[in-house]
Amino acid sequence: MREAGPDGLASRLMESGALTSDWLPAYQAVPRELFVPDLMWPGRTEGVGQADAVDRREDPDAWFHAVYSDVSLTTQWDDGRHSGTTKGKVPTCSNSQPSMVFSMLAALDVPPETKVLEVGTGTGWNAALLSERVGSQNVTSVELDPENAMGARQRIHDAGYRPRLVVGDGADGFREGAPYDRVLVTASVTEVPRELVAQTRTGGVIVAPYATTYGSGAVARLIVQRDGTASGRFVGSSAFMRLRQQRRAWKNVREYLGGQPWPADGVKSSTVLSPEAVGDWLPMFAIGLQTLGVFPWAERYADGTYTLWLRDTDVTSWATVDYEPGRTEYDVYQSGPRELWSEVEAAYWWWDARGCPGFERFGLTVDAENGAHTPWLDSPDKRLPIVG
Ligand SMILES: C[S@@+](CC[C@H](N)C(=O)[O-])C[C@H]1O[C@@H](n2cnc3c(N)ncnc32)[C@H](O)[C@@H]1O
């Protein structure tokens, strides 16, 4: 077995390419263990979600092992309303997965003395790493949650750094410190806040995990242009907790059925496209870029079958597709002004017809003036079709 601890994790991260040699000194100077509270819930190495709580005071070996594993460590649930050692409903703060932290820092491209704004101080690890790299005087980090901000401040100061730490809404950036050369967002966005584009200097870089309403996500690396837009490619997949204001609570399926039992007024048809095909992270991303306000949910049954539900954020339309292993044709019901399965199917086939392009072939242009987000494939002039 490989050595556990900072060196073991460093060599794994370097082998994978996430940790580049120029970031190694910062990694070594800013040990992750200084930024992880005693009680936390490690992400699973296989699959999704969090494992059971690990408490340093009760099991220091397990805690140390988790800290030097390439997993995210959840440190807060339900915006702090949940306490105790059980898991809450929604993870709302974490010390992010090290491979994600360092690949985002590499994408940010931060020469010494660069002026950086971070959104989402969280546990403070990123802000300290950036401070080590460019000097505390060049780092501003904004955190919305006062409790997270307080914990981060203590840890950052204990580690010997003094960046500017702001408690507030990171979507507003921090004007007093603008313009920034680099902006790093460490919570996912469905819309890149316009203020962040406006507060980045021309030629500056914004790195932000971009999550579509459909569910999947990838890290956007945008360069701010002379005309005030920010444009660039995605650099790899991501799965981040969302910026607090951009989280959505979906209405229950009952609200879509208008009090009637399923399939209510749904119009029946069939499809040869398996619901399994539209459930993988990459096609989900391609579908999410092409559809507006559509989100999926799988209602799973004990026998391995499930119903894929599609709903729209405006609560006007729904669709279901019944999945059974071994079938080649699936029943579809659609209701409302939008035919949501037809939209998802069209988006999937568009992606398939182009050879199933990966995350890195997609890009995004954000117009700070009107807030428009325009996804593209290969180059900004090749806009994606918006179906529906
Ligand atoms: C994944 S954690 C960030 C990890 C952090 N960079 C670190 O090094 O530990 C996401 C953080 O974003 C914060 N957050 C969510 N919405 C925010 C907003 N609008 N402005 C600033 N921070 C926000 C959350 O409270 C949480 O602490």
- Output the tens digit of pLDDT for each of the chain's 388 residues: 445 799 999 999 999 999 999 999 999 999 999 999 999 999 987 767 888 999 999 999 999 999 999 999 999 999 999 999 999 999 999 999 999 999 999 999 999 889 999 999 999 999 999 999 999 999 999 999 999 999 999 999 999 999 999 999 999 999 999 999 999 999 999 999 999 999 999 999 999 999 999 999 999 999 999 999 999 999 999 988 899 988 888 899 999 999 999 999 999 999 999 999 999 999 999 999 999 999 999 999 999 999 999 999 999 999 999 999 999 999 999 999 999 999 999 999 999 999 999 999 999 999 999 999 999 999 999 999 998 7
Tokens 């995990």 belong to residue: 209
Distance (angstroms) between ligand 1 centre and the Cα of 186 equals 6
Cα dihedral sign for 92, 97, 98, 100?
Answer: negative
| Contact by Cβ (8 Å): 155, 124 | yes
What residues does 52 pair with on adjacent strands? none
**Model pLDDT, residue 185:** 98
**Model pLDDT, residue 4:** 74
Residues sharing a CB contact under 8 Å with residue 64, sequence separation 6 or more, in sequence order: 4, 5, 33
pTM summary value: 0.96
Separation in Å, CA 214 to CA 74, 211, 258, 340:
23, 8, 23, 12
**Model pLDDT, residue 2:** 47
| Contact by Cβ (8 Å): 39, 13 | no
**Model pLDDT, residue 49:** 83
Please give all residues whose beta carbon lies within 6 A of any atom in ligand 1, as ranges.
92-96, 119-120, 122-123, 125-126, 142-145, 148, 169-171, 186-187, 241, 243-245
Report the candidate in 345, 303, 295 with the shortest Cα–Cα distance to residue 323: 303
> Which residue, by CA, sits nearest to atom 20 of ligand 1?
170
Dig out the tokens for 17 from the structure: 């390419």
Dig out the tokens for 252 from the structure: 């229950």
CATH superfamily, region 253-353 = Bacterial toxin RNase RnlA/LsoA, N repeated domain (3.30.160.690)
| Contact by Cβ (8 Å): 279, 298 | yes
Listed by start position, the domains of the chain span 6-186, 253-353
| Two domains, one topology: 6-186 and 253-353 | no
**Model pLDDT, residue 1:** 42
Which of 241, 245, 246, when mutated, tests ligand 1's pocket best, judged by the most ligand atoms within 8 Å of its CB?
241
Q: May I ask the CATH architecture of the domain 6-186? A: 3-Layer(aba) Sandwich (3.40)
Range 118-135 burial, b when 16+ CB lie within 10 A, else e: bbbbbbbbbbbbbbbbbb
Report the candidate in 349, 351, 344, 354 with the shortest Cα–Cα distance to residue 388: 344
**Model pLDDT, residue 53:** 95
Q: Which atom of ligand 1 is least distant from the CA of 118?
A: 6
Distance (angstroms) between ligand 1 centre and the Cα of 100 equals 15
